[in-house]
Amino acid sequence: MTLWEKAKAEFIDIIEWTDDSSDTMVWRFPRYENEIKYGAQLIVRQSQAAVFVNTGEIADVFTSGQHQLTTKNLPLLTTLMGWKYGFHSPFKAEVYFVNTRNFTNLKWGTKNPVILRDPEFGPVRLRSFGTYVVRVSDPAKFIKEIVGTGGHFTLNDVSDQLKNLIVTRFSDMLGESKIPVLDLAASYNELSLYLTEKIAPEFLEYGLEVTKLLVENISLPLEVEEALDKKSSMGVIGNLENYLKFQSANAMEAAAKNPGGDASAGVGMGIGFAMANQLGKMMSKPQEPAQSAPQPPLPQEEKDSKYYVGKNGKQAGPFDKNTIMNYMKKGAITKETLMWKEGMDGWKTAGFFSEFETLLKTTPPPLPK
């Protein structure tokens, strides 16, 4: 420092700090030999505090505003330096400006998974992460416990210690809560509040205050998540028999849109017989009457015959008479189609069955290919 700079520094009578960074927590005001003029103006802006330190001891703390440095507003420093009758000459002291605003969107997370015993899955490994907001609530204690004599202290200098403290308390809290893994997502808010209350006293020991802490996610290992996805998929499918029926109906529709190939025709016919079989079983089940009054039974044939159909070397059935008639109306069964029912010695063409003779005469045969 040149002679002119030394002389100029001795006559500087304004002490202030304009923070142009986003992570500075403490900044020491530079002063030649730490000399401050009597009557100097101290300007402390919003979200700041100024701490005076004399020979390693914290003296006075100033909050936001403009202050004139005299013996009246420096009572502790006056006592420490033994000024019984006041002073009117420069004095030596270190001035630390402390940023008291909220430092937001700070990250925390588990470096290694937390092993817990879940009532449904047994031992599981969980990872978690979130954010928190912190501010300096006691500038004097923060400088004494954390900063020390450093002239420039940033958030990075203390963030690792804070994250380790949060993760340790979170792991302990998660183990004690005994909340099932599948219910954790519904408890994020409660876990966040409880964790904030648990670590708040420990942060206060450093002169810090946790104004907000959020648990954003608690996740399982990838292989466990994949197993849960499969289980969820089966739950969405529901009744497997109904699902297969639905798939068969879709296959029939696709085969009907592409009737050119023999394979598609065979698949469509086979699925059609299977679906008709299921439909016949459903139709044959007794239905509850729509009215409360008993209804007389409908006249029935002497005996409901069951028919079997042979086509393309495959056997399908049994079908009732109504189902066979529906297939004849659609042209799926013609006079040449092989059929059999109880009491017959062998397979006969559909034209052999007298009960369908009238219907076959009115049903056109399939178009020639």
Same domain for 74 and 148, yes or no, is: no
Q: Is 290 a member of any domain?
A: no
Same domain for 172 and 122, yes or no, is: yes
Same domain for 255 and 201, yes or no, is: no
d(CA 164, CA 68): 42
Domain boundary among 225, 256, 274: 225
Same domain for 183 and 255, yes or no, is: no
Q: Is 259 a member of any domain?
A: yes
Res 243: pLDDT: 60
Domain with residue 159: its CATH number is 3.30.479.30
Q: Is 324 a member of any domain?
A: yes
pLDDT (mean) for 123-133: 90
**31-83 pLDDT, tens digit each:** 766 678 888 899 999 999 999 988 778 888 999 999 988 877 787 777 777 66
- β partners of residue 127: 219
Using the structure block, give the residue that is written with the tokens 């159909």. Answer: 309
Angle at the Cα of 43 (from 38 to 47), degrees rounded to 5?
145
Same domain for 195 and 218, yes or no, is: yes
Q: Is 367 a member of any domain?
A: no
Same domain for 119 and 93, yes or no, is: no
d(CA 214, CA 53): 36
Tokens representing 210 are: 């946790």
Q: How many CB atoms lie within 10 A of CB 3?
A: 7
Tokens representing 243 are: 């699902």
d(CA 341, CA 165): 82
pLDDT (mean) for 226-238: 64
Same domain for 250 and 331, yes or no, is: yes
Tokens representing 117 are: 């015993």
Phi first, then psi: what are they for 253, rounded to 5°?
-65, -40
Q: Is 80 a member of any domain?
A: yes
Residue 157: is its pLDDT beyond 80? yes
Q: Are 119 and 180 in contact (CB under 8 A)?
A: yes
Domain boundary among 81, 99, 117: 99
Q: Is 231 a member of any domain?
A: no
Q: Are 192 and 130 in contact (CB under 8 A)?
A: yes
Same domain for 131 and 28, yes or no, is: no
Instruction: Give me the domain span that covers residue 93.
Output: 3-99
Tokens representing 189 are: 């808010």
Strands (E) across 183-336 are located at: 208-219, 307-311, 314-319
Domain count for the chain: 3
Non-local (6+) Cβ contacts of 157 within 8 A are 25, 150
Whole-model pTM: value is 0.57
Q: Which of 135, 138, 154 is nearest to 19 (CA)?
A: 154
Pairing label, strands 14-15, 41-44 = parallel
Q: Is 234 a member of any domain?
A: no
Res 4: pLDDT: 47
Domain boundary among 55, 74, 99: 99
Confidence of residue 270 (pLDDT cuts 50, 70, 90): low
Q: Is 264 a member of any domain?
A: yes
Residue 302: is its pLDDT beyond 50? no
Same domain for 121 and 139, yes or no, is: yes
Same domain for 316 and 341, yes or no, is: yes
Same domain for 73 and 117, yes or no, is: no
Same domain for 71 and 135, yes or no, is: no
Helix axes 188-204, 156-177, angle to 10 degrees: 130
d(CA 255, CA 272): 10
